[in-house]
Amino acid sequence: MQRPTAVAGSALFFAIAPGVVAGLVPWWLTRWRVRGPLAQWAPVRAAGLTMLILGTVVLVQAFARFVAEGHGTPAPPRRPPAAAERLVVGGPGRRTAPALLPDSGYRGLLSELLA
């Protein structure tokens, strides 16, 4: 797969899958409004923000690795050319290789979460 196609496919999948689960659904539930200052929850909110930022960094890095090293997209393909052409073995998922296998789809995500 050519690099521009892989970048476009990865960006589209990033907007659809994690964008909906981590962005659109929470917005539908809360509209990003907090009732009251909740000063006693400040440490929990800070920890949540830290986890959100770190998780986003890991996710963006994984998507970039699929383009750069795997020459494909992490999206489960409808057609074989969309899949990663090479095994991606670097980054945070290097110890859970099945999580980064081409065509692993949500099984890879599940193994990352349970590892």
Residue with tokens 């930022």: 53
**Whether pLDDT at 103 is above 50:** no
Distance CA 59, CA 55 (A): 6
Which residue range is the domain that position 104 belongs to?
3-114
Per-residue pLDDT reduced to its tens digit, 30-61: 888 877 767 788 888 889 889 989 888 888 88
Total domains present in the chain: 1
Per-residue pLDDT reduced to its tens digit, 23-32: 899 889 888 8
Task: Give the global pTM.
Answer: 0.66
Phi, psi of 29 (to 5 degrees): -75, -40
